[in-house]
Amino acid sequence: MGAGSTLRRISPFLTIACLLLLWQWISARGIISHILVPPPTDVYQAFTDSLADGALLKHTLVTLEEMFFGLLLGVGIGLAIGYAIAKAPILENILSPVIVAFQSTPIVAYAPLLVIWFGSGIASKIVTTAVIVFFPTLVNTIVGLRSVSPNLRDLMRSLKAGRWQIFRHLEAPSALPVILAGLKTSTTLAVIGAVVGEFVSQGSGLGYLVTSARNLYDTPLVVVAVFTMTAISLSLYGIVAYVEWRFLVWQRRSSA
Amino acid sequence: MLILVRLIIVAAMWLGLAATAQDEPVDERILLTFIPNVQFAPFYVGIEDGYFADAGFNVSLAYLQEPEVLDLIAVGQANFGIVSGEQVILARSRGRDVVYVFEWFQKYPVGLVFSSALDLSDLANLKGMTIGIPGRFGASYSGLTTILGSAGLTEADIDLREIGFNAPEVFCLGVIDAAVVYVNNEPLQIKNLAADGDCGAVSDVDVITVASQVDLVSNGLIVSRALLEEDPDTVARMVAGLASALRSVIDNPASAYLASLAHVDSLPADEALLNALESAAEEQLEFLASAPDRGDIARSRRQLAADLSERFERGALTQLNVLLNTIELWDAENIGYSDLSSWEAMRDTLDSMGFLEDDAGSLQDMFTNRFVTGADR
Amino acid sequence: MTLSLRELSVSFRDPSGCALPALGPISFDVKEQEFVCVVGPTGCGKSTLIRVLAGLLPASSGAALCEGALIDRPMNQFAIMFQDANLMPWRTVLDNIALPLEIAGVSRSSRYETVRALLPQLHLEGFESAYPAALSGGMEQRVALGRVLVQQPRVVLLDEPFGALDALTRENLGRLLLRLRQRYTQTIVMVTHDINEAVLLADRVIVMSRGPGRLVADVSVDLPRPRTHDMIYHQAFLTLTKRIRASIDDLSA
């Protein structure tokens, strides 16, 4: 490993460090009012305070719970319907008006309706999350399954493979890279879904922490909550990327 | 010859410019909260009927969340905004130097709505009930805490559910016993639902207002301290303009409703209602010319509501009735005036809620009545 | 196993629904354990022929028979090898070769045992856990050949299996095929456009015409076995290849 690759490896952290310094400098010099941009030191203080009194952890866990079940539901349904559509293209004609309408309507616009329909508890946030992650999963499942090589299908037929064997040995592994790519998108969207739900009906979670901190004029805490969302988003992305790296060994070699 | 003509033209233009510079109203943006709604009628009347122009302003309106209104004014990106009183105390405790110069709502607009079948003549009966609230923040939460406090209860004595701004729907589903609402609006909606049989077992509702328990400082006009100190004249003119507009709405709600049509898209206004309101507004002008007192004017408003309810469907009058309900929260002998005791009560409420970690600072610094005396009738 | 084509023809439909004849009518027989090569210009329907024999494509008219039974779906004891090695990129060499056994429900340990025993003949020792992306084209085809052998088929269908490889690799694979044929005698139908390859490998060469593919020559190759690559310089070999080339040239004339 040469000096160049070390530099490349640490450069993202350098970028973050530089931004933090710039941020501190701007607020220390009073270039932008602290009311609008609190200094990093205040944000750090708010971070340790909210960690100490358990509020940050509590709200983070709530958001994570909503995201977990939302992903489970949205990805599950996306996979199932995606498989059905890939197998029976007529379903695409039947379902696409509904699916496209759902997708092209901003979730923020109908999130209040979801709250009325599914209540102000965790269910409505799970549904907003599920709705938002459903579409990328669906599309990637269809694309993944349709990208299965027709020659390999012939091979499986010539081997007299059954429907389940074709799914297990051919369709699933060959669609997996595309589906995992979709899952990366979905996990970041899941944060949006959960937080949109929390904005609409207050209770707990990081979206609520933003609103309540905002209403107490605690801008540093708002920034802490926002950064926590970023961290969740990045972590989940990282987890899926790791799963990808771990399970798609064959792709790693081919790209090397 | 030509030069002379040119000179005359230039001189005329210069004179003209000088003249307009003196009379031209200054562009000024007022930051409101919520969405365009008939409850903001004083601002619509101020614009449509020239009260702001008379004060030297060309006013435009924007609708934001309360914390954003407050921050924009604190950093000087806007001069005027409307927020509720507790926001001023909270924001000042976190370094926003704003001053409250005009109390628009004389009565705190929050209350508790519940089925008439429930006996809440003694507020202690709230113990153990399930109560819905938009969220644990803002005027609703302060209001509820105050009501509970005056009954000797705390939040621990009730089952508090955060329901967002969906009180009518959630209440009518029957999952809560009572809801914290804006008394001028949601009770009316729930009454309408109940009258149509769409509110479960509830056939009618009653309301307990915060104002009936404690006088809390309510929504009003804020400015930054910088503006107050550098340009008190601008503040004085804005307060005067708003006071005149507010008085005009209180005196002539039919006319105010008509002025609001230009600003609120969804206001019901079929031709029959418009005609009725126009003639009511004209009659009211004649009535006002006879110099009636506050009581007479209040009676004239009730008469208007009664007359219209005989001629129109309930649904068509909902927004007008919201306006009439809201006027009752505005009307006072000294409009714009806020009392130190109402600030103290609000501070104590916030303190009991644990919202004031830091020292809130001197209450006297937070508001001033120096601009409102002239607005008294 | 014997194969026979009876007035077999296949036509496809173009987007406007018109029938496009692709093959036949064509008739010939393949005897038990015979190695037949089908040669012909591009577009003569050779691959279509293989797909019909493999049971992957239905005949439009006529029939393909195996031991007198109609081939209307993939048959038992048939194995097919494609022009493209057609390996699963997510499976190692070992697992790619073992795929037919896995689908047949053979236990993991016994299928690995079978495959490992086969690897030396395919010159794939040491590559068991390599992924296809790491293999050369020749190695990929050896894996594909292993996947055929592991099925212990009685009929092998080869669709231009070495078509995409360079000349030297082709020769190597041809030699490997011959050696393996000595060990596992099967009925083989192989499609190729390389006349030398056909003559060197086959017992019989069928020459097909272009669009739609018809039989134009049926040449017996009476060269002795085992065959070596040196035979391409023999007079008998040259006579045969000349004859076949002439029948193809007649077509284009």
Model pLDDT for residues A196-242, shown as the tens digit of each residue: 888 877 678 999 899 888 888 889 999 999 999 999 999 999 999 88
Which residues 201-260 in chain B show a CB within 8 A of chain A? none
CA-based nearest residue in chain A for residue B166:
A116
- The 10s digit of each residue's pLDDT in C160-172 is 888 777 777 887 8
Chains A and C touch (3+ CB pairs under 8 A): yes
| Tokens 């439909």 sit on residue | C13
Instruction: For chain A, say whether B130 makes contact (Cβ under 8 Å).
Output: no
Question: Considering only CA atoms, which of C221, C215, C225, C227 is closest in space to residue C239?
Answer: C221
Q: Do B164 and B284 fall within a single domain? A: no
Domain residue ranges of chain C, discontinuous segments joined by +: 31-77+154-253, 85-152
CA distance B221 to B82: 5
Report d(CA A57, CA A51) in Å as an integer: 7
3-state secondary structure of A143: helix
DSSP state string for C170-207: HHHHHHHHHHHHHHS--EEEEE-S-HHHHHHH-SEEEE
In a domain, B6, yes or no: no
Residue type, B242: L
Token pair recorded at residue B115: 């089925």
Residue B42 domain flag: yes
Which of C74, C89, C91 is facing A158, going by the closest CB pair? C74
* Spatial strand order in the sheet of C61-66: C19-30, C3-13, C61-66, C69-70
The angle that helices C108-118 and C137-149 make with each other, rounded to 10 degrees, is 120
Nearest residue in C to A172, CA atom: C90
Q: What is the largest CA-CA distance in chain C?
A: 58
Sorting pLDDT into bands at 50, 70 and 90, what band is C252? Answer: low
Residues B95 and B224 in one domain: yes
CA quadruple C220, C222, C225, C227: dihedral, nearest 10: -80
Beta strands (DSSP E) in C88-225 are 155-159, 187-191, 204-208, 215-220
Instruction: Work out the minimum CA distance from A59 to partner chain B, whole angstroms.
Output: 14
Indicate whether this model's pTM tops 0.95. Answer: no
Phi/psi at C66 (nearest 5 deg)? -125, 120
Ranked by mean pLDDT, the top range of A230-244, C46-60, C149-163 is A230-244
Does one domain contain both B165 and B92? no
Are B87 and B144 in the same domain? Answer: no
Q: Is the peptide bond before B36 cis (omega within 30 degrees of 0)?
A: no
User: According to CATH, what is the number of the domain C31-77+154-253?
Assistant: 3.40.50.300
Residue B67 and residue A214: Cβ atoms within 8 Å?
yes
Tell me, what amino acid is at A112?
P
The more confidently predicted of residues A253 and B195 is: B195
Per-residue pLDDT, B19:
43
- Tens of pLDDT, residues A99-146: 888 778 888 888 878 877 887 788 889 999 999 999 889 989 998 998
* Statement: residue C58 has pLDDT above 70: yes
B272: number of Cβ within 10 Å: 11
Q: Tell me which chain A residue has its CA closest to the CA of residue C89.
A: A250
Q: Are residues B241 and B263 in the same domain?
A: no
Q: Do A215 and B91 touch (CB under 8 A)?
A: no
Confidence at residue A160, expressed as pLDDT on a 0 to 100 scale: 86
Do residue B54 and residue B186 come from a single domain? no
Residues of A in contact with C132 (CB under 8 A): 250
The stretch A2-12 carries a mean pLDDT of 75
Taking the CA atoms of C87, C92, C97 and C103 in sequence, report the sign of the dihedral they define.
negative
Contact A225/B at CB under 8 A: no
Chain B nearest-CA distance from A29, in A, is: 16
Residues of C in contact with A245 (CB under 8 A): none
Q: Is the pLDDT of residue A3 over 70?
A: no
DSSP class of residue B165? S
End-to-end C-alpha distance for chain B, whole angstroms? 59
- Dist. CA B108–CA B112, nearest whole Å: 12
pLDDT value of position B227: 95
Name the residue facing A159 among C89, C100, C131 (closest C-beta). C100
Q: Which helix (H) or strand (E) holds B333?
A: none
The whole-angstrom separation of Cα C73 and Cα C52 is: 9
- Say which of A36, A116, A215 has its CB closest to residue B169: A116
Residue B96 touches chain A, beta carbons under 8 Å = yes
C74 to chain A: which residues are within 8 Å by CB? Answer: 157-160
Is residue B241 located within the same domain as residue B296?
no
Range 41-70 of B in CB contact (< 8 A) with A: 65-67, 70
| Cβ partners under 8 Å of residue C33, min gap 6 | C185, C186, C187
Tokens 């076949």 belong to residue: C244
pLDDT in tens, C98-108: 899 888 888 88
Cβ atoms of residues A136 and A181 within 8 Å: no
Both B294 and B366 in a single domain? no
Nearest C-alpha neighbor of B224 from the set B50, B365, B46, B356: B365
pLDDT above 90 for C181 = no
A132, A73 contact by CB (below 8 A): no
Distance from CA of C103 to the nearest CA of A (A): 6
Instruction: Give start and end residues of each alpha helix (H) in B211-366.
Output: 225-230, 232-251, 253-260, 271-289, 294-311, 314-330, 340-352
Last residue of a domain, one of B209, B233, B263: B209
The three-state secondary structure class of A202 is coil
Q: What are C's interface residues with A at a Cβ cutoff of 8 A?
A: 51, 54-56, 74, 76, 78-80, 82, 84, 86, 88-91, 99-100, 102-104, 131-134, 151
Residue B180 belongs to what domain range?
110-209
- Are the beta carbons of B90 and A208 separated by less than 8 Å? no
Cβ contact B–A (≥3 pairs, < 8 Å): yes
* Residue B235, in any domain of the structure: yes
Cβ atoms of C58 and C79 within 8 Å: the answer is no
* C-alpha to C-alpha distance for C195 and C38, rounded to whole angstroms: 9
pLDDT at A6: 80
Residue bearing the bigger pLDDT, A40 or B360: A40
* Closest residue on chain C to A166 (Cα): C103
Contact C103 A160 (CB under 8 A): yes
What is the total count of domains within chain B? 3
Mean pLDDT estimate for chain A: 87
Chain centroid to CA C129: 27
Q: How many residues does chain C have?
A: 253
Q: Which residue of A has its CA nearest to C92?
A: A250
- Contacts of residue C129, Cβ cutoff 8 Å, sequence gap at least 6: C92, C93, C94
- Determine whether the interchain pair C82/A151 forms a contact, defined as Cβ–Cβ distance below 8 Å: yes
B86 shares contact with chain A (CB less than 8 Å): no
Q: Within chain B, which residues score under 70 in pLDDT?
A: 1-23, 358-360, 373-377
Distance from CA of A139 to the nearest CA of B (A): 33
